[in-house]
Each structure stands twice: as structure tokens, then as C-alpha cells.
Amino acid sequence: MLKKVFVVAVLVVFAILLFRSYGLMDAGTRLNPVATRYAQDGPEEVGAANLVTAVIVTYRGLDTLGEVTILFLTASIIGFFLASGSHQEPRSAQGTGTSEILQTAARVITPIIFLIGIYVFINGHLTPGGGFQGGAIVASGLVLMLLANPGRKVSHTLISAVESISGISFVILGILGLILASGFLDNSILGPGRFGTLFSAGAIPVIYIFVGLKVGAELSGIVSNLQQTTKEDT
């Protein structure tokens, strides 16, 4: 009884705090000075039709580097704990089969998912999307593939190689921005191209390709480690 009263009290306090926060919230009707600067000068300076991409990849490139680093650390920690917890005697069990419908659908849909993911991060400077979204789509294709074929092995060496190469390339592009242009991940190290076309926005498409590959490899690594641990425990 006391536990229920405590839970209700916590919920009431939490509701009061949310209500007070909602009452104090002031909906902004105008852009702040920083956002105004991005909106007015961003398309001309960066050359990206997707202004969100211009902000994330160029103006706030160090933030993006931090986000990619956090994702890398998360994947590494998950892999470490899964590996340390899987050193036990595996129990003998027969593999669980999947339906023919799922296997056939996976063979047809998985390549399409990979293609859509690649499209999303290659066209991140033109349409909504980018490296993080495209990488997550690519990883979802791997999930479908493993659901349809639970016994299928994923090359950890390949995943690690893609992740390492894309991460190092991302940092190198950032350093080139410092050397050849005016800041870290400055996209002007490559020609601006024609606004609104695939080959535009300088180095942003190249940056997002590496971000997409890195995010996709890291998420795929997490899924692969989970699958490996599950197989050892069954």
C-alpha cells in the first residue's frame, strides 16, 4: 500500500512540474539571432538546399563529431558487455526456422532497404535525411536479414573496417577544412557546384556518405553482437 501511495505521489509531483513548465513556455514567433544568421546566409555560404544539413554538418560540425563519437562508444560498450557475459557453456538446442514468406520477403526487400538508406545519406544536402537517418535504415535492413536467416553469420571484420575507415575519413575531412578553408568540416574544400543538384554543397555529400557508413556500421555491429550472444545462449 505504501509503495502505491509513493508512486501516486511521484506521478502527481511530476504532473505539477510538467503543468508549470507548460505554463512558463513561451512559443517563439521569430528566429533568434543565430537562427536568423543561418537562415539568411546559409544557402549562399554553404550551397545546401537542406538548411538543416548545412547547420549540422558545417556550422555545428564539432557537435556532429561528438554525436558520432557517443554512438561509437555506445556500440563499443554494448559489444564489451555482451562479449564478457557470453563466456558460458552454450546449451544445446536446435535452431529455430523461419517461414518461407519471411525469407522470400527478406531476399526482395533487404536490397531495397539498403538502396533507400544509401539514397537518404547521399541526398541529405537536398532532401530531409542525412547520415544518421540513412545509417539507421541500412542497419534495419541487416535486422530483417537476420530475422529471416537467424543462423547467418555477419562479418565483424567487415563492419569494423567500414566503421574505422569512415570515421577516420570524417575526421580527415574536418582537418582539411581547417587547413584549406576557414574551419573544421568547412565544405568549401570542394567546389560548390550548382545549387539544388546532386553535386552541390561542396563536401557535404561526401561528409554525409562517411557519416552514413559509420552510423550504419555501428548500429549493425550492435545488432550483430546481440545476435551472436543470443545464438550462444540457446
* Mean of pLDDT values over 4-31: 83
User: What is the tally of structural domains in the chain?
Assistant: 1
pLDDT at 93: 42
**pLDDT tens, 147-198?**
888 888 888 888 889 989 999 999 999 999 989 988 888 888 988 888 888 8
Query: Is 90 among the domain residues?
Result: no
Average pLDDT across the chain, whole number: 85
Phi-psi region of 184 (alpha: psi -120 to 50; beta: other; left: phi over 0): beta
pLDDT at 11: 92
Query: Is 136 among the domain residues?
Result: yes
CA angle at 186 for the pair 185 and 188, rounded to the nearest 5°: 140
**pLDDT tens, 108-133?**
999 999 999 999 989 999 988 888 99
Query: Is 130 among the domain residues?
Result: yes
pTM across the whole model = 0.77
Query: Is 223 among the domain residues?
Result: yes
Domain boundaries, position 113: 50-84+95-233
Share of the chain above pLDDT 70, in %: 91
The CA–CA distances, whole Å, from 4 to 8, 12, 17 equal 6, 12, 20
Q: Which amino acid, 119?
A: Y
Query: Is 144 among the domain residues?
Result: yes
* Mean of pLDDT values over 100-110: 90
**pLDDT tens, 41-79?**
888 888 888 888 888 888 888 888 888 888 888 888 887
pLDDT at 140: 93
Query: Is 3 among the domain residues?
Result: no
Query: Is 174 among the domain residues?
Result: yes
The CA–CA distances, whole Å, from 50 to 98, 164, 200, 202, 230 equal 42, 28, 11, 13, 41
Distance CA 215, CA 219 (A): 6
pLDDT at 64: 86
Please check the confidence at residue 86 and state whether its pLDDT lies above 70.
no
pLDDT at 2: 80
* C-beta of residue 211 within 8 angstroms of C-beta of residue 68: yes
Query: Is 28 among the domain residues?
Result: no
